[in-house]
Amino acid sequence: MILHINADRFKEDFDSLAQIGSTGDGGVSRPALSDLHLEARRWFLARAAAAGLETHVDSAGNHSAILRSPLPHLHTERSRSAHTGTLSEAEVPTLLLGSHTDSVPNGGRFDGALGVLSALETLRSVKDAGVELPVHLEAIDFTDEEGTLVGLLGSAAIAGKLAADTLKNPRGGRERLTAGLARAGLTEDGLLSAKRDPQTLAGYLELHIEQGPRLLGSGIKIGVVSDIVGINSFKLSYRGKANHAGTTPMDARTDASLGASAFVLAAREMVMRDFPACVVNIGQMNFKPGAFNIIPGVAELALEFRSPETDELAKLESSLLTLAETAGEKYGLSLTAQPAGSCAPAPMSGKAQAAFVAAAESLGLSHVSMPSGAGHDGQSLADLTDVGMIFIPSRDGISHSPLEFSEWEDCVNGASVLLNAAVKMASGGV
């Protein structure tokens, strides 16, 4: 049996959500736990409730719509009662579907939001079709996937991978984190206690735009993700000596900006030469005190680097930190390097990939296996349950920008694949 989404309803939801935090140029700006992000999440729960779905917000702020399995008359091979052959409510696992509604500042309207809405549409379509599944379906909107505050916050919390030290020194800054938690009515204790038992999970599936040019360039409609790249980040701080910019001779300066600049250029060259499968990015650079006529005494950098291989990620980290030290020593600077988050490379489940392939083929959609160079919530869950992702084509490969765009036909195709893959996974058909 092939199921179909309600494309008109799906589009109406997409357009409505895109208005929340709209930047007026095709993009949205909904940083995690901002007022606009919280408005979007309230909208999501309202749409779920209007569809007759159960709603829930956990202690990590993850927002969910739930379609419960029609117990007790269904059973699965996974977990049967010895006496009745049926499952109790507590024994029924949940298949998660979702993504995130937060965005980067001045980002695109497809990233994350499309995954959340396709998950919601999957639950509604299953409900509308009267399909009874032996597992619960849950459309989940994870908290702070983009890392405005912490990065993969909600998914790391339910995976039990969120550390108290991370909350003490979050990548977005302690003050911003505490303010965001206060707006959302969340607590640090709640974040740290949100872990779910892996035995309660039947898997996690996600639809996302590719954020790259491969699918569009090849004319292929569905990318079945094979693995998700690992990401490490650090806060670097070079310290020199602030002084008068007009009276201090050029050869007598301990200028923190020189070490920072030298590192940025050297890091690019080294990664391209020695780690061709990896990337490095300096997303922020801040000079202090920060005036035209003051030599910078401090230079702060936000360093992030990615690799598809665990061993290579570790080697890259060591090489970059050594390079940063060398750049500082050249200009007489001290360096502090503070970890600001990490997530390991994550292979996708063979079972989930097979479900996506079967769904794509049943719908007559071309598909290809491909890695993800972007991080996603699924990598938090990959060692707990069966995780799978699909991509749809992105115009020009642009993302994290108001220019981010996917054809609506591709969005509908992706949501249809997600729907049918979810039914296959839930019913044990793969």
Query: Can you give the pLDDT at residue 342?
Result: 85
pTM for the model stands at: 0.85
What are the residue ranges in the chain where pLDDT is below 70?
A: 71-90, 429-430
The first and second tokens of residue 421, run together, are 């893959």
CATH architecture of 7-228+346-426: 3-Layer(aba) Sandwich (3.40)
Distance CA 61, CA 58 (A): 5
Distance CA 400, CA 407 (A): 17
Query: Can you give the pLDDT at residue 116?
Result: 98
The phi and psi torsions of 26 (rounded to 5 degrees) equal 95, -10
Closest residue by Cα to residue 171 from 340, 343, 286, 375 = 340
For the chain, the residue count is 430
Closest residue by Cα to residue 212 from 357, 105, 101, 368 = 368
Query: Can you give the pLDDT at residue 77?
Result: 47
**Domain ranges in the chain?**
7-228+346-426, 230-343
**Residue 344 near residue 198, CB atoms below 8 Å:** no
Could you please state the CATH topology (level 3) that the domain comprising 230-343 is classified under: Alpha-Beta Plaits (3.30.70)
**Residue 177 near residue 150, CB atoms below 8 Å:** yes
Q: Alpha carbon 193 to chain centroid distance?
A: 20
Query: Can you give the pLDDT at residue 248?
Result: 97
Query: Can you give the pLDDT at residue 79?
Result: 44
Query: Can you give the pLDDT at residue 239?
Result: 98
Beta bridge partners of 341: 233
Q: At which residue do the structure tokens 């061993």 appear?
A: 311
**Residue 35 near residue 158, CB atoms below 8 Å:** no
Question: Are both 7-228+346-426 and 230-343 of the same fold?
Answer: no
Rg, Å, the chain Cα set: 23
What confidence tens digit (pLDDT) does each residue in 65-120 have?
A: 999 998 655 554 444 444 445 556 668 999 999 999 999 999 999 999 999 999 99
What confidence tens digit (pLDDT) does each residue in 295-306 have?
A: 999 999 999 999
Burial class (CB in 10 A: 0-12, 13-18, 19+), 191: buried
Burial class (CB in 10 A: 0-12, 13-18, 19+), 267: buried
The contacts found for 314-320 with CB under 8 angstroms, 24 or more apart, are 315/275, 316/271, 316/275, 316/278, 316/280, 317/232, 319/270, 319/274, 319/275, 320/267, 320/270, 320/271, 320/280
